Structure 1
Amino acid sequence: MPIISNANHDFSNLSLSDDSSLDRIFTEIPETETIKGVYYKRAQLIRRPQDLLSVDHAALAVINVGGNRYTFPWTTLEQFPLTRLGRLRLCRSYEEIVQVCDDYDEAAREFFFDRSPSAFRVILNFLAAGKLRLLREMCALSLSDELAYWGVEMAYMERCCKRKMYTRMEEATEHERKEEERRRSKAQVFACLSVIMVVVTVVSLCISTMPDLREEEDRGECSQKCYHMFIVETVCVAWFSLEFLLRFLQARSKLAFARGPLNIIDAMAILPYYVSLLMEDEDEGSSSQHERPGGGKGYLDKLGLVLRIMRALRILYVMRLARHSLGLQTLGLTVRRSMREFGLLLLFLCVAVTLFSPLVHLAESELTPGAHDFSSIPASYWWAIISMTTVGYGDMVPRSLPGQVVALSSILSGILIMAFPATSIFHMFSRSYQELKQEHDRAFKEEERAAAEAAAMAAGDGLQEGEDGFPPSGNFYYSPNLTQESLTLLEPSKENQHTLPAGAF
């Protein structure tokens, strides 16, 4: 059936290929007629809206891509069953149609696709003449994404265009790999510095509790060693404060950031330093005035105690290691998910302690005169807890035979009670570790994809200026080790094989 054409598309001037097969198509057509043969007119661009009224929808499919209307004979789409357009023939309901295209006008029987019209010209040329070519004005990433969307295999691309595209993608892949290595190295350096700062802070906290430094602090003196410890603490707190501020500024939701458990711990570890500075200033002022509400020296002693407690909170910096350790993150997630099991464990311990404490008190205090360790039932709670958890400090030991029988029973009961929820907690830890590991891998892949898209935008801008900087597609991965021999193995799929009539060429 002849199809009226009002558009002759010659892609040879836009393609990287110098194949002149398309030129023969137009030269063989009589100049007096605009009627093309059915073997050539396999796709047509509708330029005027009134031309849409004369379309035979039983024989032609009307496709709207980015505002441009095209008509395709259904017989043409039959030859490409694996493409997105070919799948339209198999749709029998509106629900099936909208799963293939973006929208469908039932009255006009028009299929809508919200895709790039310029990229669709490559698909149009492929369906019309069987030539898949890389246009100079297109980015390789955009083209590969469009080919993946429309279901057209890269193997159909002309050999010269394919070689050019693979070459550019290999260059972009190598550039992205080097950029990713630099980015990961910077992140690793930052993480190492953060861990080093945590270790230095913990070590300085431990050194500050040495007797000689404590004596200097009690006398109100500050030697050279004390001054150096203060400098180290100041540097570490400055680093943590800067990191906390940067993470707060980069957070999308400030409220969610403030509610984060690790962020709360960071704030509790950082704030004591600044509070202690203010309290030291107040301490100096009170020493000069010698009068404060609450009574002179007693007030200063209380102030010094609060100051030491605030400084001891620096140990919370250890929790920052959870940001860089998958194992610590897994531990926290396991504890949060196993609250029910821990609650059952606590309930079992409370019941057992309540049972064995009166028994050991009765056996030691009532049946054995002169025993002072188990003077009351509340005093026996400590012994019951230590015994059931199999710690056994030895500060309270039953001497009588009945007391030893009670102790043996409590120890055996404690072993069984601790073993009941341990299996469930272990399995929860294993599942949490696998989930976190998969989440980290997924986040890493998303970062790689974002970096690839950023490189693609830069490469696309450079391509318009004639630069060779195509990034790899997110749907197609091209190995940097592709050789000329491997390119020859890329042939069209047999399931999507098309046979164009000889009259088309």
Structure 2
Amino acid sequence: MCYNIFIVETVCVAWFSLEFTLRFIQDRSKLAFLRQPLNLIDVVAILPYYITLVVDSTSKGEKRLGSGNSYLDKVGLVLRVLRALRILYVMRLARHSLGLQTLGLTARRCTREFGLLLLFLCVAIALYSPLLYLIENEMAATQEFTSIPATYWWAVITMTTVGYGDMVPRSIPGQVVALSSILSGILLMAFPVTSIFHTFSRSYVELKQEQQRVLQRRTHFLLRSRMAGRGSSSRSLESDALFPPRGAADAVRQGKA
């Protein structure tokens, strides 16, 4: 059913594999090359295709997946997980996208700010969830919050987004608690935003300047190579004029004679 898509994926994976192999061969430090995050993403994105081919070819004569054999069921689950990892092909755009590179560099530099944000959210969720659960169980006519862990889900989607509406407080005190959780979520999300924004803008400027320096080096290298080629050709002409070959020198001598 997906034969055409399989052909397109085969061509793309072959191209990615060739590119990765050539970059791995020409790199001097193989271990440092494999430690780079983007190269690891390339490996994780390319390997599932080959593993899927091997497993499919070896399990052709076996029973159909999901037919009661626990081993084959596990293999089928692994195959589905590997096929889902193909979405990592999108991460290859980070090599050519300045915005994605800036996003990754910002996330790496702002680990402390993200950790503080998660800490603030966890503390607020741990405060509001039991409070709302107790209020709703005591005062609401219909109980939508079955447990405190279920109320955690409500607190997460309320403090980080606008909420899904699947769990809503019915009592007036519960709605007051929900309003306070919404406002506190907005404030908590706003605390580290300024630092993250400044880091993002600084990282973007640094990466852009680095790209400009790389382009300047390439242009200088091309200009030097062209000038060197022209200089070598002019030097060869001067040397031919000063020291002509034997045949030309003999012809000149015979003409003079």
Counterpart in 1 of 2:18?
242
SS at match of 1:305: helix
Q: Check conservation: 1:283, 1:303, Cα contact below 8 A.
A: no
Distance in 1, Cα, partners of 2:29 & 2:223: 26
In the alignment, residue 92 of structure 2 is paired with which amino acid? R
Q: Deviations over 1:345-401 (max 9, x none)?
A: 101101100110111011111333541x22222221111111111330011100011
Distance in 1, Cα, partners of 2:43 & 2:162: 35
Question: Shift in Å at residue 284 of structure 1?
Answer: 1.3
Q: Check conservation: 1:360, 1:403, Cα contact below 8 A.
A: yes
Q: Check conservation: 1:353, 1:384, Cα contact below 8 A.
A: yes
2:40 counterpart of 1:264: yes
Distance in 2, Cα, partners of 1:323 & 1:361: 47
Q: Check conservation: 2:142, 2:170, Cα contact below 8 A.
A: no
Q: Deviations over 1:75-108 (max 9, x none)?
A: xxxxxxxxxxxxxxxxxxxxxxxxxxxxxxxxxx
Question: Shift in Å at residue 460 of structure 1?
Answer: 3.1
* Superposition map of 1:34-73 within 5 A: none
2:176 counterpart of 1:400: no
Counterpart in 2 of 1:428?
199
Pick from 39, 55, 62: which aligns with 1:286?
A: 62
In the alignment, residue 254 of structure 1 is paired with which amino acid? K
2:134 counterpart of 1:362: yes
SS at match of 2:25: helix
Counterpart in 2 of 1:347?
119
Counterpart in 2 of 1:448?
219
* Superposition map of 1:322-333 within 5 A: 322-333=94-105
SS at match of 1:286: coil
2:114 counterpart of 1:338: no
SS at match of 2:63: helix
Which TM-score applies when normalising by structure 1?
A: 0.45
Question: Shift in Å at residue 296 of structure 1?
Answer: 5.7
More strand per residue: 1
Distance in 1, Cα, partners of 2:30 & 2:227: 31
Unaligned runs of 5+ in 2: 239-257
Q: Check conservation: 1:272, 1:310, Cα contact below 8 A.
A: yes
Provide closer, same or farther for how the CA distance between residues 441 and 281 of structure 1 changes in structure 2, counting only shifts above 3 A: same
Question: Shift in Å at residue 452 of structure 1?
Answer: 2.5
Counterpart in 1 of 2:149?
378
Counterpart in 2 of 1:419?
190
Q: CA RMSD in A?
A: 1.9
SS at match of 1:287: coil
Which TM-score applies when normalising by structure 2?
A: 0.86
Pick from 228, 231, 236: which aligns with 1:465?
A: 236
* Superposition map of 1:178-189 within 5 A: none
Counterpart in 1 of 2:51?
275
Structure 1 residue ranges (4+ consecutive) displaced by more than 6 angstroms after TM superposition:
none
Q: Deviations over 1:2-35 (max 9, x none)?
A: xxxxxxxxxxxxxxxxxxxxxxxxxxxxxxxxxx
In the alignment, residue 166 of structure 2 is paired with which amino acid? D
Question: Shift in Å at residue 227 of structure 1?
Answer: 2.0
Distance in 2, Cα, partners of 1:250 & 1:365: 66
Higher RCO structure (Cα 8 Å, ≥6 apart)? 1
Q: Check conservation: 1:398, 1:407, Cα contact below 8 A.
A: yes
2:69 counterpart of 1:301: no
Residue-pair matches, total: 237
Q: Deviations over 1:258-315 (max 9, x none)?
A: 1111111011000000000111122114239x9xxxx963322322222122111111
Q: Check conservation: 1:338, 1:425, Cα contact below 8 A.
A: yes
More helix per residue: 2
Q: Deviations over 1:175-213 (max 9, x none)?
A: xxxxxxxxxxxxxxxxxxxxxxxxxxxxxxxxxxxxxxx
Unaligned runs of 5+ in 1: 1-224, 468-505
Distance in 2, Cα, partners of 1:396 & 1:450: 64
In the alignment, residue 459 of structure 1 is paired with which amino acid? R
Pick from 250, 253, 265: which aligns with 2:29?
A: 253
Pick the structure with greater CA Rg: 1
